[in-house]
Structure 1
Amino acid sequence: MSASVHPTRRSGFTPLAKSAIRRGVSSAAPTTTSTFGARDLAVVVMMNLLWGLNIVAVKEAVVLVPPITAGMLRQLIVLLVCASALRVVPGKMVPLFALGVLSGGLFYVFINLSLAVSDNVGALAIAGQLGVPFSLLLAIAVLRERIHAPRVIGILLAFAGVGLLVFDPAAAREGLGLALTAASSLVWAICSLIQRRLVGVPVLTIYAWIGLLGTLALAAASWWFEPGAIARLPRTPIAALLPIAFSGIGSTVLGHGSMMWLLQRHPVSTVTPLTLAAPVVSVAAASYWFGTLLTWPMVAGGAVAMLGVAIVTIRTAAKGERRA
């Protein structure tokens, strides 16, 4: 899960990401279909690598900088990148404020704290996939969306896969981290519903508000829960800020900007399943970087959870295409 943003000015971003932003697309914008070629594949690979490696960057960041303060710095980067698009959108300010506080603030409190208190980062990457079934369950409860057997099975598999982690002693010890990750997934799911009310709002504007409100919310939380952390930032080594910069620019701006570029060229049902490689990259990267062992319960749990998420994702994307 990443939580997340879209590009801007001239700062070395790929032409792909910038073209998507220049159009001011939204996640619900209509798509045009073209042949899926080598350039599209390269963007998919880059996007999944950026999102997959982000969990390593965030874990390193919260080791070097207090977790809430690290989240504030990430959102500040997002704000600086997207500031030129910050503007009042008549009739959309309530959902924009709600999204900014939740997606830009509360989500990062949960996810950064979960990484700060945990050693088994791969287990958190698996638990983070609960955002997809949570999102569908909220759509059923709030929007009265009707689902059929395949997506019900997908939801059950996703939860069962995460449940299998309790059979891995190393993962089972991460109870607090897993609970915080599940909470962040629920916040992400709520935000996915709010985003449905922002159809037509330029992506840059959405993330400018997320950056602004997230920075303010996390600065207040840092001041309250991490006294002195902001005051110590000028003495923080530059190397400690690099993982935060990677998260803000790489995962959020470039990663999501590339996603929007793909959605402008191909149907949602084609693009969305291509994001399923990111959590696999996360688990593998975390295992390699932090030296955590991939046990059979963890591999089995991850496989079952990803199967469930894949079913929900693919069926939901196909359903959206049929409606369009």
Structure 2
Amino acid sequence: MSPRTELQAPKPQVRPSGLGPRDLFVAIVMNICWGLNIVAVKMAVVAAGPFTAGWLRQIVVLVICLPFLRLVPGRMGTLLLVGLINGALWLAANNLSLLVSTNVSALAIASQLGVPFSLILAVLFLKERIALTRTLGIAFTFAGVALLVFDPLVAREIPGLLLTALAAIFWAIGSLLLRRLAGVPVLTIYAWIGLIGGLLLAPLTIWIEPARVAALPDLRLGDFSWILFSAIGSTLVGHGGMAWLLQRHPMETVMPLTLASPIVAVIASSLMFGTVLTPVMIAGGVMAMTGVAIITFRTVRKGGGRTRPA
């Protein structure tokens, strides 16, 4: 293993390698689910309230993953932290940002702040090194995201953008913690996220949104379907795929792949909510996707054996 790519981190370690066809397929499905999810969450938040929608989402995740809920010796502290951050803090901040915003496309772009946050944390705490080519790809992608964020139409969404940035920080911390759960089945991880998130959000939901909770028997099936998609498509398929990739590849390889999701989200939210796609948004999207392509093809070209948790 080259010193340039070796991961210096506490056990468990993940040995880096190139992305294979299965990895790329997971990344594509993950980005589609996340891109469409922002529409589902916006609709769920409007219909049920931010905390109620988040709480129901975690209940659905728990019910689906309950057969896989089990104690994992030596990992319970990390599992509980992931449940707190991914299951409650990130979800609450993300849902609140969608409640106070109308330009959903802008939030989809701002959510990608989680990528530089994640890389900064990886460098600081995991001593990861980023090769020059992929560094340039990340910089080019970040420039595209920055161009989108600075579109004049985004200026009116400051509260939502700040909440989205907070959610991105929580997401980055949660992603870092997931690296320490290498070898733990993804469905077990999300069973704990659903349990901890559900337990933490329940009292907040009852306290902050009592009227929403009382009106749950009257929630329409169509509105509940948005919550189902968010739980299954985004949490289990999307975030489950992310956890699967993070357990097999370095963070600097996986994180840039998520930048395809805002492009899907921008198109989906534009069609659903009538958001205007300005030339600046289109140019920034092209830049972001170009950066993703540079990183992906460079990683595939490097090749290497399939990685397994140490």
8 Å contact kept, 2:54–2:91: yes
Q: 1:192 to 1:305 in 2, by over 3 A?
A: same
TM-score by length of 2: 0.79
Give the counterpart letter for 2:154 in structure 1: A
C-alpha root-mean-square deviation of aligned residues, in Å?
3.7
2:232 maps to which of 229, 249, 258: 249
Q: CA deviation at 1:204?
A: 1.2
Separation of aligned partners in 1, 2:25 and 2:138: 31
**Any idea what SS the aligned residue of 1:70 has?**
helix
For residue 182 of structure 2, the aligned residue among 193, 199, 205 is 199
Distance in structure 1 (CA, Å) of the matches to 2:58 and 2:192: 10
Query: Any gaps of 5 or more consecutive residues in structure 1?
Result: 1-25
Inter-CA distance 133–312: structure 2 relative to 1 (3 Å threshold): farther
Moved more, 281-290 or 301-310: 301-310
Which residue of 2 is the match for residue 133 of structure 1? 116
The CA deviation at 1:144 is 2.6
Aligned match of 1:298: 281
1:80 to 63, 66, 72: 63
Q: 1:194 to 1:225 in 2, by over 3 A?
A: same
1:226 maps to 2:217 = no
SS at the partner of 2:213? coil
Q: Measured at CA, do residues 147 and 166 of structure 1 come closer, stay the same or move farther in structure 2, by a change above 3 Å?
A: closer
Deviation at 1:229, TM superposition (A): 2.5
Q: Aligned AA for 2:165?
A: A
Q: Does 1:70 align with 2:50?
A: no
Read off the aligned partner of 1:146 and give its amino acid letter. R
Cα 1:82–1:234 change in 2 (3 A) is same
- Shift in Å at residue 124 of structure 1? 1.0
- Tell me the equivalent position of 1:59: 42
Give the counterpart letter for 1:203 in structure 2.
V
SS of the counterpart of 2:261? helix
Q: Distance in 1 between matches of 2:15 and 2:66?
A: 22
The superposition leaves residues 155-213 of structure 1 with CA deviations (integer Å, 9 ceiling, x where unpaired) of 54454434334542321111111111111111111011111111111111110000000
Question: Matched residues in 2 for 1:147 and 1:44: separation?
Answer: 20
Cα deviation digits, residues 297-317 of structure 1 (max 9, x gap): 222333344445665677789
1:287 maps to what in 2? 270
The worse-fitting range, judged by mean Cα deviation, of 231-240 and 302-311 is 302-311
CA-CA distance at 1:274 after TM superposition:
6.4
| Displacement after TM superposition at 1:55 (Å) | 0.9
Give me the identity figure in percent.
Answer: 56
- How do 1:1-324 and structure 2 match up within 5 A? 36=21, 46-165=29-148, 167-255=150-238, 272=254, 276-308=259-291, 324=307
Structure 1 residue 151: Cα displacement: 4.7
TM-superposed CA distance for 1:259, in Å, is 6.8
Q: Secondary structure at the match of 1:216?
A: helix
TM-score between the two structures when normalised by the length of structure 1: 0.76
Point out the more displaced range, 178-187 or 72-81: 178-187
Task: Report the Cα offset of residue 41 of structure 1.
Answer: 8.4
CA distance in structure 2 between the partners assigned to 1:210 and 1:289 by the alignment: 30
Structure 1 residue 78, shift from structure 2 partner:
0.2
Q: Are the counterparts in 2 of residues 69 and 222 from structure 1 also a CA contact under 8 Å? A: yes
**In 1, are the aligned partners of 2:18 and 2:304 still within 8 Å (CA)?**
no
CA contact (8 A) 2:106 2:149 kept: no
Instruction: Structure 2: give runs of 5+ residues left out of the alignment.
Output: 1-11
